[in-house]
Chains A and B, each alone.
Chain A
């Protein structure tokens, strides 16, 4: 099925794609793209379900605080993020819609 990701999902993908190897915290990412937790977490869950996002637990959490979760794009996720970024630019002839 070919479906355009929502503007919010595109924002999240773009934020991840800006520095693909970097692991991100959920709250900091939400601040960066201007999304509240209520919008951000469902997007992260969907991306994770589709294999576009990988995650791990923080290795050295702050003392007395639980380990946080870290996220970054998978190879497939990076590819989709680039397609979404291209599709967001002015359309040229023959450009395909992003499938994800």
Chain B
């Protein structure tokens, strides 16, 4: 393949799906040209034609946003003096932003389906992971001790946890996911009911419970509600249940971190007598904020395990659907004939 063909190939990939036929037409015309000058001029003209297409620029919004987020994250984490921790934070950013980028491509993780439940669950999931990732990186940036532990253990664990959540939300809402739209809506409702129940128990009056048991009960409730209400066979129920459990875990953990961070009245005196009496009220609050989140870490971890299982289940079930489709195509030769239309 010549350099011109390669450049044109990259350029036409920027065209929206419905314009891809024009890209093929341009490439076919290029293949007919012999003169180097003509080929160069033709490629340049075609690239200009592609770049003039307004949707090409709209399509670049997302990569630009991701690149800007990565840049902002790198600049922010540059404040971390300890190099291994800085590298670990960069790795976290790269993994999460990389997953979001892959979530736009055709494959296991993307692109997102057109239905509202899929779009809603993906948007909520990504937003919650973003909130937690920002909070975690913020803690690393502000940290004044335990750099080794943060770089060697905490940062990789959080990267894995957030990565699992992202993979799950991307996989179950991808275009070729087997999860039915109505079951995603059911999962969303089940998670909402469970979180509402937990909120009534835990957040209506201060302080926040010093046990994660209610939260784990709520996650279990979300799973059982989704299993009971989901339509279709076992696979559909499994996907709905895992989606509900994953979502409920993430919402509850995010609520806990936000409440502990923003509403001092809800911060329990979990340190109690173990904290030195010499601490000021502000220092005591800071210590309690740090410790009070610990009982909820298992909720985040269990949610991450559910998310990992959900991601794998989405891929396995999708593969089966793909195999079934391939079988159907084998039986119907016409189904395999590709028809390229310009619009």
Q: Which of B36-59 contact A (CB under 8 A)?
A: 41-42, 44-49, 52-53
B342 within 8 A of A: yes
Query: Are B46 and A38 within 8 A (Cβ)?
Result: yes
Contact flag A27-B33 (CB < 8 Å), given A38-B49, A42-B49: yes
- Bound-state CA distance A10–B150 (Å) is 67
Query: Are A38 and B48 within 8 A (Cβ)?
Result: yes
Contact flag A68-B343 (CB < 8 Å), given A27-B33, A37-B49, A45-B19: no
Query: Are B49 and A25 within 8 A (Cβ)?
Result: no
Contact flag A68-B340 (CB < 8 Å), given A37-B26, A38-B49: no
Residues on B with C-beta less than 8 A from A58 are 28
Q: Which of A59-67, A79-87, A91-99 contacts B (4 or more CB under 8 A)?
A: A59-67
Residues on B with C-beta less than 8 A from A25 are 29, 32
- Bound-state CA distance A55–B341 (Å) is 9
Residues on A with C-beta less than 8 A from B42 are 27, 36-37
Q: Shortest beta-carbon distance, A98 to chain B, in Å?
A: 23
Interface of B is mostly: helix
Q: Shortest beta-carbon distance, A41 to chain B, in Å?
A: 4
B324 within 8 A of A: no
Category for how many chain B residues contact A: 20 to 34
Contact flag A65-B45 (CB < 8 Å), given A38-B52, A57-B340: no
- Bound-state CA distance A57–B25 (Å) is 9
B27 within 8 A of A: yes
Contact flag A37-B32 (CB < 8 Å), given A26-B25, A49-B343: no
Query: Are B45 and A40 within 8 A (Cβ)?
Result: yes
Q: Shortest beta-carbon distance, A43 to chain B, in Å?
A: 9
- Bound-state CA distance A62–B29 (Å) is 12
- Contact digits for A48-79, partner B, Cβ 8 Å, 1 yes 0 no: 11000001011001100111110000000000
Contact flag A41-B343 (CB < 8 Å), given A25-B29, A27-B29, A68-B25: no
Other-chain residue from B21, B22, B32 in contact with A65 (beta carbon distance below 8 A): B32
Name the residue on A nearest B50 (C-beta).
Answer: A41
Contact flag A45-B22 (CB < 8 Å), given A27-B29, A66-B31, A68-B29: yes
Residues on A with C-beta less than 8 A from B342 are 48, 55, 69
- Bound-state CA distance A40–B21 (Å) is 15
Q: Shortest beta-carbon distance, B65 to chain A, in Å?
A: 27
- Bound-state CA distance A65–B24 (Å) is 12
Other-chain residue from A39, A61, A66 in contact with B45 (beta carbon distance below 8 A): A39
Q: Which of B245-262 contact A (CB under 8 A)?
A: none
Query: Are B28 and A41 within 8 A (Cβ)?
Result: no
Contact flag A65-B31 (CB < 8 Å), given A41-B26, A48-B343: yes
Contact flag A36-B25 (CB < 8 Å), given A45-B19, A66-B31: no
Name the residue on A nearest B48 (C-beta).
Answer: A38
Residues on A with C-beta less than 8 A from B28 are 58, 61, 65-69
22 contacting pairs across A/B (C-beta < 8 A): A26-B25, A27-B42, A36-B41, A36-B45, A37-B29, A37-B49, A38-B45, A38-B47, A38-B48, A38-B49, A39-B45, A40-B49, A41-B22, A41-B46, A41-B49, A42-B49, A45-B22, A55-B25, A66-B28, A68-B29, A69-B21, A69-B28
Chain A positions within 8 Å of B, measured between CB atoms, are 25-27, 36-42, 44-45, 48-49, 55, 57-58, 61-62, 65-69
Chain B positions within 8 Å of A, measured between CB atoms, are 19, 21-22, 24-29, 31-33, 41-42, 44-49, 52-53, 340, 342-343
For the complex of A and B, list the 4 residue pairs with the smallest distance between their C-beta atoms, beginning with the closest: A37-B45, A38-B48, A69-B25, A38-B45
Identify 13 new A-B residue pairs, CB closer than 8 A, beyond the known A38-B45, A44-B22: A26-B26, A36-B45, A38-B44, A38-B48, A39-B49, A40-B45, A41-B46, A42-B52, A45-B19, A65-B32, A69-B24, A69-B28, A69-B342
